[in-house]
């Protein structure tokens, strides 16, 4: 999987393949965009134009949808993706402390990616594993019952497993 | 599964009989909870271990290993229940799995260290049904989870699945089905609490085609995961409910709109739909009755507002999730302007039960206006967190103490939040708190005019609304004395400002204004005018918001002001956060119970803590950024969050009073 | 449609079931304020300013938005209870907290009694009413705009904030934006003097011109949204008499006539090629026609004489003979410009306090009262400079010059080079023949002169006739002239035409051509050859026929006919042979 976008021809045929799986129905627009994002790690402008063309929908509608929903990003995410759950149960279990620590260590605020493109940090609303709060997922791997002291260990595991990130599944 | 199509109810009954006959009731079945919660705890490794052991011992034919849906007791995961004895093992690690295999499965012995020990009575309890967490529940829906592999349709049929469908399609008319649902008193489990039977009847009466049936699985409330566990663990029951509903209403197309953040639910549901189609339970000519109905899964894009029915339908249409006015109901004009009946996952799951066991049976459970059971996601500062299914009318006290097992780490309950960001904070503090000795104990501030606690409130739709909250989808978050109500109110409003779609003015601008006021109060810059603004603004936002996201957004703030007004006043007048949460109003300081264990020093990111091992430590107030890391890590409760500026005073006193520990102190285990 | 009984502000009324409250109220003249409402689209109900209180007989009441709340039997609506006013006021205050104090919000604030918005104001001009996006989606059908992001970050934009390829430049979004956040931008380089010179840059419905007959608007296809996207059609929804027909197209009718009066008028000279005057380059250099439009009370400025920036000019220069009396353009004198230039200076003096300069070569005030008018102009203090202007340059060329433009000329009466600072320059442009006059004339078999004007039969004695019988000329198409002359000529042409019709008998030349039907094969060669278009083809008989009233007896067709079917009367072959024999005898 590559972050760089394919050549124009490859992109068009890839988009057509993805759209074809869902029958090009407008009901499936969000799922189509999610698959496109899975392919390219973000939603490149060319891809959105290709989707609009293939599905015969106005580009303005596609762009509006792509910017409205939080699961989409128009900027490339980092190679490693850290999500801190800030659902109510985790908040009540002091998730904010974990977020602060990660922001301090990485030097970015939640929602951003580090300048070298290695790590992006995000907060999400409730992953549904409230018994394990505060919960952090790193490249899809769940780290439950997080405390501030466990963060360093998690980050070193994450960064040293960088070469493995292509084989782990995304949780969200 | 190839051509196993069931062409009639008789064939379905015959299949069930065959499965029952083939089943060996004495065969050992090892069930491992494989819901997302337990997955996150590592149940996959546990499963893998069991499979490896079984293979090694070549006991494939003798022992069955089943990955089931959520058992509910998430606090204690991973969970393993061995049948037929029903022995309940909790907190099972892969290494423990080996022990279970050797000792229980092969040897018939118990592994004591993995059995449940009740924290209050210290008793060891062997069987699931005897554990207090489960005993007080009424698991008419969730009970099946523990016995089924959600990806095996035969497991569901074995438990009586799809028989209600057969009855409905062949022995009942649409009017009869709707009549039953009406009689049962079933109300929507998604939050609105609307009478399901009435909704179906209205939809049926609209003479427009086609009609759509939608399952709202967007479960966006943070802290709620009932629908997810239901879809992961028992998707067939939801499917069955939808088919019955579609038949009653006259619809042939159904949608399940699932949050994108639930990949396992999507996976299991996809498998279930395919299996149902293969069996002729979905698609054309269902069970040979000539009724056609099929279901399409649609994933959400990450927007809480899409849990609102009109926004969900806009999202299904491929547009942004903007709600529209509901002056014309969606049952008359919804998805693509056609009549659309939308119900929550749990509501659909109740339908086969009503058809199977009768409306009267269902109506016998619960209170006068709230029938049946409700699944709650009990989370937060309570011992037993997880999913609990209880009859309507049960009190908060029973949920918190009998099922929930009380507050951990010896803290006091303070509030219970129901209904997610649309609900309210209900005070559940005991009238006579045990003395805690902490200068920031919540007991210092109390609102004398309101009932001191709502512990004895019966939980049902109308009661919760009456006291300023709502049932919502079932999230129930417990907070203790370490939670600040101003902070929680701010948290919810912040959540809603991020999730607001931005279409209507009061929600988009009003919530941002409310957030800035709450932040002001939390930072110690609030005034009495600000509290007045909050109340005034809340009323206008409730009155003029377009949908219920905005319309119920002020509830957390209003209920916090109602029950915890003194806490707000402390922030505004005293510039003090009694719970010690609001960073600008607290100072972290170490008191004389310090053990000198050095843990806090290591965790401090700004090196603001100094001290020698085994000697009293202290926090350099100027360097402390109030991050709370030390508070989290200290096992001796020595870090105190005092009013800003009083840290040094506390630490001076500590210096005078501190004595080195005489012997090794055992830490309080949580 | 069933009717239901409702009450609004105490007034009983009956309306169709399902009507929205806002429309019902409007029909009994109760105004409810709105921001995001547009009558021809689905109500959006985002601004909540149209909130009203709805009550039922059972005592239940709630706040609803009037624009999309459908009435039902027994509904009571109250439009200005304290609860309603408070709801509107608070909402407006919240809106103002994040928006600039644009006029539409201030106006509403005054209505609701807000003097100081509690949370201040900001700079953002977009109020997120969504009118632009919805119009583009629902009515125009171009889908060029969208809402992006959500919550407090919500904004209106084109995809990727780039120029949209789907935008059809109709301007509907700019027209309906209540705050002016969206503006139409001129993307060509040319300055149109005073943007409002045209009715609006892209108006699709216009009057061809103010004095058009019939004086009804027409749809301009190139600008009409319906013809671009198939959408809109709002005009047909509004028209009370159902006059709009999109299928209408120019129809051609064939009318058989015996006389035609050609009065096709003139074109104005376009001074753009004369780079020295800066027309099209400097904003305040305008042509005389543009000045006429501006001066007209029904014009874009309401008759005020203003510069492009809306200010009154301090000095105006009127340059005569632009394109006329010019070796490089037109050698002729356009006859009317001197007088209208004087008229302009009189109007300027009347309406403003500007200085006026007339730069002329000769002052041609030849008509009745014309010379007297010239004298009056001089008395009004107009500066007349004898000397054709050489150049117009922008000021700032030298430090001490005031005004925006400098007119450079030689004042031949005092023999000095002058540079005159002015704010506006009016070019009295030449009258030209219509550009397609030559082609047009061919249809009637009349010719144009070297200057392009149509040639009359005789310049002194037959100024309204042409060499083709029955074709007459009137007005400027025959040569530049002013209104009295044109009117007189028009009368003359009409009289000539009527003479033809009233005559009953037409005296014509004895020698004309006759076609023998028996020999005519219907090859139609003679039809095209006749210089007087006197031969036509009879479809029924399939032979050619000569119109003896038109035939001049030139004999071209006689010689050309391959079958020899045409004979010239009194000029037959036998008669010619007889004449030759007579001479040789």
Contacts of C99 in chain B (CB under 8 A): none
Q: Which of C145, C147, C159, C231 would you mutate first to test chain A, the one with the most A CBs within 10 A?
A: C159
Min Cα distance B204 → chain A (Å) is 24
pLDDT number for residue B142 = 92
User: By percentage, how much of chain B surpasses pLDDT 90?
Assistant: 65
Q: B191-205, B265-279, B439-453, B599-613: which range is least confident on average?
A: B439-453
Instruction: Examine residue A126 and state whether it is found in any structural domain, yes or no.
Output: yes
From A53's Cα to the closest Cα of chain C, the distance in A is 12
Residue B541 sits in the same domain as residue B658: no
Which one of B302, B324, B543, B546 would you mutate to disrupt binding with C, by most C Cβ within 10 Å of its Cβ?
A: B543
Give pLDDT tens digits for B556-575. Answer: 999 999 888 888 988 999 89
**Per-residue model confidence as pLDDT tens digits over C202-219:** 567 877 666 677 888 888
Q: How many domains does chain A have?
A: 2
Residues B414 and B563 in one domain: yes
Residue finishing a domain among B322, B343, B363: B363
A91 and A139 housed in the same domain: yes
Looking at the structure, tell me whether residues B348 and B410 fall in a common domain: no
Q: Using CA atoms, how far apart are residues C381 and C352, in angstroms rounded to an integer? A: 13
| Residue B198 Cα distances to B132, B175, B204, B247, angstroms | 37, 12, 10, 16
CB contact under 8 A, B544 and C95: no
Residues A116 and A44 in one domain: no
Categorize the per-residue pLDDT at B538 as very low, low, confident or very high, splitting at 50, 70 and 90. Answer: very high
Q: Which of C149, C150, C153, C155 to probe by mutation at the B interface, max B CB count within 10 Å?
A: C150
Q: What is the pLDDT of residue B668?
A: 52
The last residue of one of the domains, among A17, A44, A68, is A68
Same domain flag for A165 and A94: yes
Domains and CATH numbers, chain C: 3-112 (3.10.20.740), 257-506 (3.50.50.60), 513-584 (3.30.70.20)
What pLDDT shows up at residue A6? 64
* Angle between the N-to-C axes of helices B196-205 and B174-184, in degrees from 0 to 180, rounded to the nearest 10: 150
Q: Which residue has the higher pLDDT, C575 or A6?
A: C575
Instruction: Starting at the earlier edge strand, list the strands of the sheet with A119-124.
Output: A119-124, A80-85, A136-138, A141-143
CA distance A57 to chain C (A): 9
Residue A165 lies in a domain: yes
Contacts of B40 in chain A (CB under 8 A): 129, 132, 135, 142, 144
A132 and A63 share one domain: no
Q: What pLDDT is attached to residue C193?
A: 34
Residue B147 domain-assigned (yes or no): no
Contact C537, C529 (CB under 8 A): no
pLDDT in tens, B303-327: 999 999 999 999 999 999 999 999 9
Return d(Cα C266, Cα C323) in angstroms, integer.
Answer: 14
* Long-range pairs of A26-29 with CB within 8 A, sequence gap ≥ 24: A26/A55, A26/A57, A26/B317, A26/B318, A27/B255, A27/B296, A27/B298, A27/B316, A27/B317, A27/B318, A28/B298, A28/B318, A29/A55, A29/A57, A29/A62, A29/A65, A29/B318
Per-residue pLDDT of chain A (172 residues; tens, 9 = 90+): 344 556 777 888 999 999 999 988 889 999 999 999 988 889 999 999 999 999 999 999 999 999 999 889 998 888 888 989 888 888 878 888 889 889 988 999 988 888 888 899 988 877 777 778 788 988 878 888 888 878 888 888 888 874 333 333 333 3
Q: HSE, CB side, 13 Å, CA atoms: give it for residue B153.
A: 26
Whether the CB of B303 is below 8 Å from some CB of chain C: the reply is: yes
pLDDT tens digit sequence for B106-120: 888 898 899 998 877
* Number of domains comprising chain B: 4
Q: How confident is the model at residue B240 (pLDDT cuts 50, 70, 90)?
A: very high
Which of B519, B542, B574 lies at the terminal end of a domain, its last residue? B574
User: Per the domain annotation, does A75 fall within a domain?
Assistant: no
Q: Is the residue at A48 inside a domain?
A: yes
Q: Do B257 and B341 sit in the same domain of this protein?
A: yes
Residues A90 and A147 in one domain: yes
In a domain, residue A41? The reply is yes
Chains with 3 or more CB pairs under 8 A to chain C: A, B
Task: Specify the CATH number for the domain of residue A122.
Answer: 3.40.30.10
Please name which of B408, B439, B383, B379 lies closest in space to residue B131, comparing C-alpha atoms: B383
In 3D, which of C25, C32, C61, C62 has the Cα closest to residue C49? C32
Q: What is the pLDDT of residue B241?
A: 97
Is residue B1 domain-resident? no
ipTM of the complex, rounded to two decimals: 0.86
pLDDT at residue C421 above 60? yes
- Does residue B259 sit in the same domain as residue B326? yes
Segments forming the whole domain that contains residue B435: 373-574
Structural domain boundaries, residue A86: 80-171
- Using DSSP's 3-state secondary structure scheme, residue C406 falls into strand
Give the whole-number percent of chain C exceeding pLDDT 90: 46
Query: pLDDT tens digit string along C529-551?
Result: 888 778 888 888 888 888 887 78
Assess whether the previous peptide bond of B84 is cis (omega < 30° from 0): yes
Does residue B12 belong to any structural domain of this protein? Answer: no
pLDDT digits (tens, 9 = 90+) for C437-477: 988 988 888 888 888 999 998 888 888 998 887 899 999 99
Q: Do C147 and B510 touch (CB under 8 A)?
A: no
- CA-nearest residue to C99 within chain B is B509
Judge whether C62 is closer than 8 Å to chain B, CB to CB.
Answer: yes
> Does residue C508 register a pLDDT over 80?
no
- More confidently predicted of B332 and A6: B332
The mean pLDDT of B203-217, rounded to a whole number, is 96
- Of the candidates B95, B76, B98, the residue with the CA atom closest to the CA atom of residue B30: B98
| Residue C332 pLDDT exceeds 90 | yes
What tens digit of pLDDT does each residue of B540-551 get?
Answer: 999 999 999 999
Q: Specify whether A41 is located in the same domain as A110.
A: no
Residue range B599-625: mean pLDDT, rounded: 88
Backbone angles phi, psi at B54, to 5 degrees: -65, -40
Residue A73 CA to residue A58 CA, distance in Å, equals 19
Task: Please answer whether residues C51 and C61 qualify as being in contact, where contact means their C-beta atoms are separated by less than 8 angstroms.
Answer: no
Query: What CATH number does residue B662 fall under?
Result: 3.30.70.20
Q: Is there a single domain that holds both residue A92 and residue A165?
A: yes
Residues A88 and A165 reside in one and the same domain: yes
Kindly state whether residue A74 falls inside one of the protein's structural domains: no
In this structure, the answer to whether residues A54 and A89 fall within a common structural domain is no
How high is the mean pLDDT of chain C?
Answer: 87
What b/e sequence results for C495-506 when a residue is b if at least 16 CB atoms lie within 10 Å of its CB, and e otherwise?
Answer: ebbeeeeeeeee
| Distance of alpha carbon B179 from alpha carbon B248, whole angstroms | 10
Does C200 or B22 have the greater pLDDT score?
A: B22
The closest alpha carbon to B202, from B26, B382, B332, B395, belongs to: B332
Pairing of strands B373-380, B475-480: parallel
B449 pLDDT more than 60 = no
Final residue before a domain boundary, out of B528, B544, B574: B574
CB A44 within 8 A of CB A53: no
pLDDT at B447 over 80: no
Q: Are B355 and B39 in contact (CB under 8 A)?
A: no
Look at C145 and A67 and tell me if their CB atoms are within 8 Å: no
- Between helix A95-106 and helix A148-160 the angle, nearest 10°, is 50
Q: Which CATH number covers residue B542?
A: 3.10.20.600
Mean pLDDT, chain B, whole residue set = 89
| Whether residues A111 and A167 fall in one domain | yes
- Least Cα distance to B308 among B25, B507, B99 occurs for B507
Average pLDDT over every residue of C241-266: 88
Nearest C-alpha in C relative to B515: C152
Q: How many other CB atoms are there within 10 angstroms of residue C307's CB atom?
A: 18
Q: Is residue A22 in some structural domain? A: yes
My answer on whether B205 and B334 are in the same domain is yes
- Return the number of other C-beta atoms located less than 10 Å from residue C296's C-beta: 13
**CATH number of the domain encompassing residue B119:** 3.40.30.10
pLDDT for C345: 96
List of chains touching B (3+ CB pairs within 8 A):
A, C
Residues A90 and A160 in one domain: yes
């Amino acid at each position: 999987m590559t972050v760089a976008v394919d050549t124009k021809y490859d992109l068009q045929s890839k988009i057509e393949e993805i759209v074809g799986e869902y029958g090009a129905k407008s009901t499936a627009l969000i799922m189509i965009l999610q698959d496109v994002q899975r392919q390219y790690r973000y939603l490149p402008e060319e891809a959105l134009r290709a989707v609009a063309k293939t599905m015969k929908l106005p580009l303005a509608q596609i762009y509006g949808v792509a910017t409205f929903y939080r699961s989409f990003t128009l900027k490339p995410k980092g190679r490693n993706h850290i999500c801190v759950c800030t659902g109510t149960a985790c908040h009540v279990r002091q998730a904010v402390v974990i977020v602060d620590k990660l922001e301090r260590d990485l030097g970015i605020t939640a929602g951003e990616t580090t300048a070298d493109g290695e790590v992006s940090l995000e907060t999400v609303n409730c992953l549904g594993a409230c018994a394990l709060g505060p919960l952090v997922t790193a490249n899809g791997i769940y780290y439950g019952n997080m405390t501030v002291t466990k963060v360093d260990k998690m980050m070193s595991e994450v960064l040293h497993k960088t070469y493995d990130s292509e084989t782990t599944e995304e949780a969200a | 599964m190839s051509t196993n199509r069931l062409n009639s109810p008789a064939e379905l009954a015959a299949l069930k009989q065959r499965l029952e006959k083939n089943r060996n009731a004495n065969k050992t079945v090892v069930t491992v909870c494989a819901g997302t919660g337990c997955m996150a705890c590592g149940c996959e490794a546990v499963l893998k271990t069991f499979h490896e052991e079984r293979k090694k011992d070549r006991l494939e034919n003798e022992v069955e290993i089943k990955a089931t849906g959520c058992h509910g007791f998430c606090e204690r995961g991973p969970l393993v229940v061995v049948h037929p004895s029903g022995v309940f093992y909790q907190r099972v690690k892969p290494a423990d799995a080996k022990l279970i295999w050797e000792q229980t499965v092969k040897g018939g012995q118990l592994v004591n260290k993995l059995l449940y020990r009740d924290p209050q009575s210290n008793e060891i309890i062997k069987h699931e049904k005897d554990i207090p967490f489960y005993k007080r529940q009424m698991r008419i829906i969730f009970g099946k989870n523990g016995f089924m592999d959600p990806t095996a349709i035969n497991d569901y049929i074995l438990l009586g699945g799809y028989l209600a469908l057969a009855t409905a399609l062949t022995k009942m008319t649409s009017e009869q089905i709707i009549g039953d649902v009406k009689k049962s008193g079933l109300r929507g489990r998604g939050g609105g609490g609307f009478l399901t039977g009435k909704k179906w009847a209205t939809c049926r009466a609209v003479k427009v085609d086609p009609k759509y049936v939608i399952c709202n699985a967007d479960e966006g409330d943070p802290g709620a995961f009932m629908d997810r566990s239901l879809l992961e663990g028992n998707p067939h029951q939801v499917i069955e409910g939808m088919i019955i509903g579609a038949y009653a209403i006259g619809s042939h197309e159904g949608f399940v709109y699932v949050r994108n953040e639930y990949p396992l639910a999507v996976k299991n549901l996809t498998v279930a739909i395919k299996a149902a189609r293969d069996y002729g339970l979905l698609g054309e000519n269902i069970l040979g009755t000539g009724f056609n109905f099929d279901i399409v899964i649609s994933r959400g894009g990450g927007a809480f507002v899409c849990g609102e029915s009109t926004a969900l339908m806009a999202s299904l249409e491929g547009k942004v999730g903007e709600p529209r006015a509901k002056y014309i109901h969606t049952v008359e004009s919804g998805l693509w302007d056609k009549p659309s009946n939308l119900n929550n996952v749990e509501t659909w799951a109740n339908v086969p039960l009503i058809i199977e066991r009768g409306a009267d049976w269902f109506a016998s459970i619960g209170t006068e206006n709230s029938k049946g059971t409700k699944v709650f996601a009990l989370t937060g500062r309570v011992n037993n967190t997880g999913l609990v299914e209880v009859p309507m009318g049960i009190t908060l006290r029973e949920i918190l103490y009998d099922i929930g097992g009380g507050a951990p780490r010896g803290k006091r309950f303070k509030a219970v939040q129901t209904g997610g960001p649309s609900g309210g904070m209900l005070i559940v503090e005991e009238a006579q708190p045990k003395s805690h000795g902490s200068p920031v104990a919540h007991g210092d501030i109390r609102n004398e005019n309101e009932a001191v606690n709502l512990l004895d409130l019966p939980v049902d739709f109308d009661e919760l609304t009456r006291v300023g909250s709502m049932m919502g989808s079932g999230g129930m978050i417990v907070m203790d004395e370490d939670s600040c109500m101003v902070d929680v109110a701010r948290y919810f409003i912040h959540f809603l400002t991020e999730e607001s779609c931005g279409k209507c003015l009061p929600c988009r601008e009003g919530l941002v204004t409310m957030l800035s006021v709450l932040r002001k109060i939390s930072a110690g810059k609030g005034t009495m005018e600000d509290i007045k603004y909050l109340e005034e603004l809340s009323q206008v936002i409730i009155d003029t918001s377009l949908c219920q996201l905005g319309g119920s957004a002020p509830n957390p703030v209003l209920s916090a002001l109602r029950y915890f007004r003194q806490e707000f006043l402390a922030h505004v007048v005293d510039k003090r956060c009694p719970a010690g949460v609001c960073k600008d109003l607290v100072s972290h300081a170490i008191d004389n119970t310090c053990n000198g264990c050095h843990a806090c020093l290591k965790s401090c990111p700004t090196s603001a803590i100094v001290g020698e091992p085994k000697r009293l430590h202290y926090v350099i107030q100027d360097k402390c950024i109030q991050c709370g890391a030390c508070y989290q890590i200290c096992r001796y409760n020595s870090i105190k969050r005092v009013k800003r500026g009083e840290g040094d005073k506390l630490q001076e006193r500590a210096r005078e009073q501190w004595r080195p520990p005489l012997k090794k102190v055992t830490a309080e285990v949580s | 449609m069933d009717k239901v009984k409702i009450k609004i502000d105490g007034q009983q009324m009956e309306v169709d079931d399902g009507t929205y409250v806002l429309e019902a109220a409007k029909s009994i003249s109760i105004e409810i304020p709105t921001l995001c409402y547009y009558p021809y689209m689905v109500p959006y109900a985002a601004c909540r300013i149209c909130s009203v209180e709805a009550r039922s007989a059972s005592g239940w009441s709630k706040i609803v938005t009037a624009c999309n709340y459908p009435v039902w039997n027994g509904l009571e609506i109250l439009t200005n209870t304290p609860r309603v006013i408070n709801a509107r006021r608070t909402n407006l205050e919240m809106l103002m907290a994040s928006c600039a104090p644009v006029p539409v919000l201030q106006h509403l604030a005054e209505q609701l009694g807000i003097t100081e918005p509690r949370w201040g104001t900001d700079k953002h001009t977009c109020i997120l009413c969504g009118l632009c996006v919805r119009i583009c989606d629902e009515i125009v059908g171009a889908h060029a705009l969208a809402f992006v992001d959500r919550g407090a970050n919500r904004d209106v934009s084109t995809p990727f904030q780039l120029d949209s390829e789907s935008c059809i430049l109709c301007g509907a979004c700019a027209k309906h934006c209540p705050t002016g956040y969206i503006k139409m931008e001129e993307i060509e380089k040319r300055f149109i003097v005073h943007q409002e010179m045209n009715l609006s840059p892209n108006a699709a419905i216009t009057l061809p011109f103010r004095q058009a007959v019939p004086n009804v608007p027409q749809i301009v296809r190139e600008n009409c949204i319906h013809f671009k996207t198939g959408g809109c059609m709002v005009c047909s929804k509004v028209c009370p008499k159902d006059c709009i027909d999109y299928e209408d197209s120019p129809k051609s009718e064939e009318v058989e006539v015996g006389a035609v009066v050609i009065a096709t008028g003139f074109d104005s000279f376009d001074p753009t090629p004369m780079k020295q005057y800066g027309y099209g380059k400097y904003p305040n250099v305008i042509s005389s026609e543009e000045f006429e439009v501006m001066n007209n009370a029904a014009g874009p400025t309401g008759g005020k004489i203003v510069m492009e920036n809306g200010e009154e000019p301090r000095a105006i220069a009127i340059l005569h003979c632009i394109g006329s009396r010019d070796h490089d353009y037109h050698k002729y004198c356009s006859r009317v410009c001197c007088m209208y230039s004087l008229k302009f200076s009189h109007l300027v003096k009347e309406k403003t306090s500007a200085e006026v300069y007339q730069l002329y070569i000769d002052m041609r005030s030849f008509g009745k009262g014309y010379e007297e008018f010239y004298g009056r102009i001089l008395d009004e203090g107009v500066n007349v400079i004898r000397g054709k202007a050489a150049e117009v340059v922008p000021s700032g060329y030298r430090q001490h010059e005031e005004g925006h433009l400098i007119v450079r000329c030689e004042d031949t009466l005092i023999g000095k080079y002058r540079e005159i600072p002015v704010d506006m320059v009016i070019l009295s442009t030449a009258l030209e023949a219509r550009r397609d006059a030559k082609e047009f004339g061919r249809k009637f078999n009349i010719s144009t002169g070297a200057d392009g004007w149509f040639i009359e039969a005789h310049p002194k004695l037959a100024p309204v006739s042409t060499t083709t019988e029955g074709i007459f000329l009137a007005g400027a198409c025959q040569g530049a002239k002013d209104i009295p002359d044109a009117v007189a000529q028009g009368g003359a042409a009409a009289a000539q035409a009527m003479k033809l019709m009233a005559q009953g008998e037409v005296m014509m030349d004895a020698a004309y051509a006759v076609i023998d039907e028996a020999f005519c094969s219907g090859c139609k060669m003679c039809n095209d050859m006749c210089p007087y278009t006197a031969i036509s083809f009879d479809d029924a008989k399939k032979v050619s026929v000569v119109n003896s009233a038109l035939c001049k007896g030139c004999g071209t067709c006689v010689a050309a006919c391959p079958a020899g079917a045409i004979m010239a009367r009194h000029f037959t072959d036998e008669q010619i042979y007889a004449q030759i024999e007579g001479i040789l005898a």
